[in-house]
Chain A
Amino acid sequence: MGAMTAKNVDWSALADALLRIERLGGDDSGLLEFGAEQRGGIFVEKGRVCWVAASGLGHRLRNLILVYSEIDEAELDRVCEQCRARGGMVGQTLVEEGLITSEELESALRHHSAESLLELCRSPLPTRFRAHTGRGYAPRFTFRPLDLLLDTVGACFPERQLEARRELEAFVEPGTQAVAFVFQAQSDCLLPVVEVGHHTVEDLRALARWASSMPNASLELAAAPSFTLAVTSKGDSVLVWWNAGLLYAVLCQDRTSLAAVTSRHMSRA
């Protein structure tokens, strides 16, 4: 499974769609439809994403389940047929019958959702949310809008995602919040690719905007900083640095974690 292409992806529309879901209430369920002729949509259950469907990718989830698990095709077809007849949910039934693990289903679902969302955001499509009652997806198999954003960016930039994980593992203390962004030259924007801690799509959009203004000050100093530190009067701080086309931002809430991250930086430099 190679990297998906980021070509023609309207990242702004993609983030807007996920932001729209994020702003729904915790009890809202429904479908965020893309396109007047229903090119697909994001299924939402209780404010969380269940999966994403896009026309032309209907059989892809089946293929991904075969890739991520050890189930054979005949067994998968049997469960699909059984669910079709009884109106059950294929993925959850596979897990309940012990044919695949919950981790395998989650990987397949998230991979499929990322691919489908990228396809839906390759051309400008109007979106519309249609509320309906949830189908009863287990919370275990639903995910945050931010997870889906990270998955889509990671699907397009898998090597960058690995690199960012390695860098953050080397620098970040347990309990610290950190984000790595990949710079997308085509649309001149920063896309979150790895998250440490718990954020929202809206948080990361604001953080990217703020962090991208930092180079303006270093331009005045005519120096490329190995890192930049910003501190509030209460001692909260954000450490920002670029490395190999990735922008990192680490939020430290105390002086100890800040000292740990900065000393690692100083020793690397």
Chain B
Amino acid sequence: MADERSLSAERLSVSSIDDVTAEACERVPSVQNGALVHLAEGMLLGGFGPGGAIDREPLVRAALRCLGASNALPRPSRKALEFVEYAFVSERQIVVILRGTLRPTIALALACARESNLAFVLSATRQALGCIEANPELVQWGL
């Protein structure tokens, strides 16, 4: 079993995870760069956009801050709120960070141009993450 898994991992190079992520995120409006993050390991699985892995570090760290540990809002008089999506809207960018639905240990963090519509960005990112999670290569890699 372990051998099988390592063979699968060999078949799926880092660049192919980059491709899977980039392709899934093509329809996100004005997307500039993105990072697929393994929350449990705190590492970048793949990404796209200008620059390399080092340039995606802020997205990885922000994803870990938001979703790496429990960031629930306790409401003593009501049920606690467990957040799965975050959006940071600044003057120049919209950064969205979403936790996987099928695979809650992964998160997708995308930076988009500020001109984009937040609702469209969120809904397109949900779809993109769904496509990534459904990719059989991720299963092969044990994610």
Binding site for B on A (CB under 8 A): 199-200, 202-203, 206-207, 210, 213, 216-218, 220-233, 236, 238, 259, 262, 265-266, 269
Could you tell me the distance between the alpha carbons of A202 and B74 in the complex, rounded to whole angstroms? 9
**Of B58, B85, B88, B92, most A-chain CB atoms within 10 Å:** B88
| B residues 74-112 in Cβ contact with A at 8 Å | 74-78, 81-93, 95, 97, 101
- The answer to whether A233 touches B76, judged by C-beta atoms less than 8 angstroms apart, is no
Could you tell me the distance between the alpha carbons of A18 and B58 in the complex, rounded to whole angstroms? 41
**Of B82, B97, B118, most A-chain CB atoms within 10 Å:** B118
Could you tell me the distance between the alpha carbons of A62 and B75 in the complex, rounded to whole angstroms? 39
Could you tell me the distance between the alpha carbons of A128 and B93 in the complex, rounded to whole angstroms? 53
Could you tell me the distance between the alpha carbons of A228 and B97 in the complex, rounded to whole angstroms? 11
Residues of B within 8 A of A265 (CB): 89
How many contacts A-B (CB < 8 Å)?
A: 97
Could you tell me the distance between the alpha carbons of A232 and B75 in the complex, rounded to whole angstroms? 14
- The answer to whether B71 touches A210, judged by C-beta atoms less than 8 angstroms apart, is yes
Could you tell me the distance between the alpha carbons of A221 and B33 in the complex, rounded to whole angstroms? 13
Residues of B in contact (CB 8 Å), total: 33
Could you tell me the distance between the alpha carbons of A199 and B77 in the complex, rounded to whole angstroms? 8
Q: Chain A residue with minimal CB distance to B101? A: A233
Q: List 13 A-B contacts (CB under 8 A).
A: A210-B73, A216-B65, A218-B90, A220-B61, A220-B65, A221-B95, A228-B88, A230-B83, A231-B83, A231-B84, A231-B86, A238-B73, A262-B118
- The answer to whether A207 touches B73, judged by C-beta atoms less than 8 angstroms apart, is yes
- The answer to whether B86 touches A228, judged by C-beta atoms less than 8 angstroms apart, is yes
If A222-B58, A231-B85 touch, does A203 touch B77 (CB 8 Å cutoff)? yes
Could you tell me the distance between the alpha carbons of A210 and B82 in the complex, rounded to whole angstroms? 11
Residues of B within 8 A of A269 (CB): 89, 91
Q: Say whether B54 faces chain A, with CB atoms less than 8 Å apart.
A: no
| B residues 28-86 in Cβ contact with A at 8 Å | 58-59, 61-62, 65-66, 71-78, 81-86
Could you tell me the distance between the alpha carbons of A265 and B59 in the complex, rounded to whole angstroms? 23
Residues of A within 8 A of B82 (CB): 232-233
**Of A207, A210, A217, A233, most B-chain CB atoms within 10 Å:** A217
Q: How far is the CB of B41 from chain A (nearest CB, A)?
A: 17
Q: Chain A residue with minimal CB distance to B67? A: A217
If A221-B95, A238-B81 touch, does A229 touch B89 (CB 8 Å cutoff)? yes
- The answer to whether A230 touches B85, judged by C-beta atoms less than 8 angstroms apart, is yes
Residues of B within 8 A of A202 (CB): 76-77
Residues of B within 8 A of A210 (CB): 71-74
Q: How far is the CB of B90 from chain A (nearest CB, A)?
A: 4
Q: How far is the CB of B135 from chain A (nearest CB, A)?
A: 21
* B73 contact from A200, A206, A225, A259, Cβ within 8 A: A206
Q: How far is the CB of B89 from chain A (nearest CB, A)?
A: 5
Could you tell me the distance between the alpha carbons of A226 and B95 in the complex, rounded to whole angstroms? 12
- The answer to whether B119 touches A226, judged by C-beta atoms less than 8 angstroms apart, is no
- The answer to whether B62 touches A217, judged by C-beta atoms less than 8 angstroms apart, is yes
Could you tell me the distance between the alpha carbons of A207 and B75 in the complex, rounded to whole angstroms? 8
Q: How far is the CB of A227 from chain B (nearest CB, A)?
A: 5
Could you tell me the distance between the alpha carbons of A52 and B84 in the complex, rounded to whole angstroms? 43
Q: Chain B residue with minimal CB distance to A19? A: B76
CB-CB nearest 10 A-B residue pairs = A217-B65, A223-B90, A231-B85, A220-B61, A220-B62, A230-B83, A229-B87, A202-B76, A225-B88, A210-B73
Residues of B within 8 A of A229 (CB): 85-87, 89, 118
Could you tell me the distance between the alpha carbons of A202 and B65 in the complex, rounded to whole angstroms? 24
